[in-house]
Amino acid sequence: METQTTTSSPAWKAQAEAKLQAIIDKGKGQAESAIQSAMVNQPEDLIIHTPAMEFGWNSGLKIGFGDEVRLSNAVSVVGAGPSQYDIHEHALGQVCDKAGIPRKWMERLTDKGDWGEQLLVHNINEMYGHMDTSKHLIRMVQGQVRGFLSDRFRRIDTPLMVEAFASIITKYGAVLVEGYSFDTKFNLKVVLPQIFEPVPGEFMVLGISLKNSDFGDGAFELRLFMLRIWCKNLMVCEDGLRKVHIGSRIAQDFAISQRTYELDNKAMASATKDVVSQMLQPAAVKGKFALVQRAAETEVDIKSVLNAARKRGHMNIADAKSVTDIYNTGGIEMLPPGDNAWRLSNAVSYFAQQVEPERKLDLEVLAGQIAGLHE
């Protein structure tokens, strides 16, 4: 795939290529570690009926249950293992959501020490004790409950999606550049190792981000993104394959459910390959960089754009002030020149590099929206 435009000197392009190689070298190991973590920490699935559960507290919320149906590895009915299992903070929020217990109230009680913890456990047990006999999908890793989910939760398994993703991006020469494997979510980024220059002096690369959660902490997403070489500002495009984790209820015949789940994952892996292939077609790539050119020519009202972002919950007042300061003072290495949507998009992306990784992606998506890359 050829560079889109070549308006800058060869020396500037050579510097950009060296910078890109440094970014790839730095991020490759991190991405490989994230993949390895996802492969090793695959969830074990259990189906639990409400009456079989009992909650307790001992240095954190615990859950104990009687009979369980094990869906992973072997399909069989087994007795209870350890009397209680640890519950991850994310799963604790899901437990409270299902019981109708507000999370703010949950957080207040857990901050009160022993009496608050015991009161929270009492309320959880009372609420579940008066529920019907519904089923719950419990997803565990190394004995810790990380997902407390509906039996309608659609299991789109990260390792299989990563394998499908890797097989197709290799055909286009894309390489690993970044990856995170958190307790409850996974994110992997790859780039085409080629320099594009859609606007004079703006050296960029194009890549794809894969995001998933095996524990109900986000949808399965495939998104194009653009990375500005000089400052690593990153703008994320629209999702090419957003699949929320909602499916049919797990059947009473768990063997049938397991076969359906395996077939569904194979179909999703195939769709992943198709979508990635479409994203990396030369015409599609050219079209995205044409949007960058348009953003660089589009005037923008900073205040109204950031106020709208605040109303949608993408940032707070302090965030908006920081982005405004960056926009007004950022030099050419931080931001592209001019007074336009492309510069504001980069200001948001530059700010995103200063926040925690789990917030970073949301701001990079916002940056893509401001640049008009979601069309």
Residue 98 CA: distances (Å) to CA of 111, 128, 240, 299, 344: 21, 9, 31, 46, 40
Predicted TM-score (pTM) of this structure: 0.83
In degrees and rounded to multiples of 5, residue 164 shows phi and psi of -65, -45
Per residue in 126-180, pLDDT tens?
999 888 778 899 999 988 999 999 988 989 999 999 999 999 999 999 999 999 9
For residues 153 and 244, the answer to whether their CB atoms sit within 8 Å is no
Q: What is the pLDDT of residue 85?
A: 86
Per residue in 276-323, pLDDT tens?
999 999 998 999 899 999 999 999 999 999 999 999 998 999 999 999
In degrees and rounded to multiples of 5, residue 102 shows phi and psi of -60, 140
Query: For the chain, which residues score pLDDT lower than 70?
Result: 1-9, 66-83, 242-257, 375
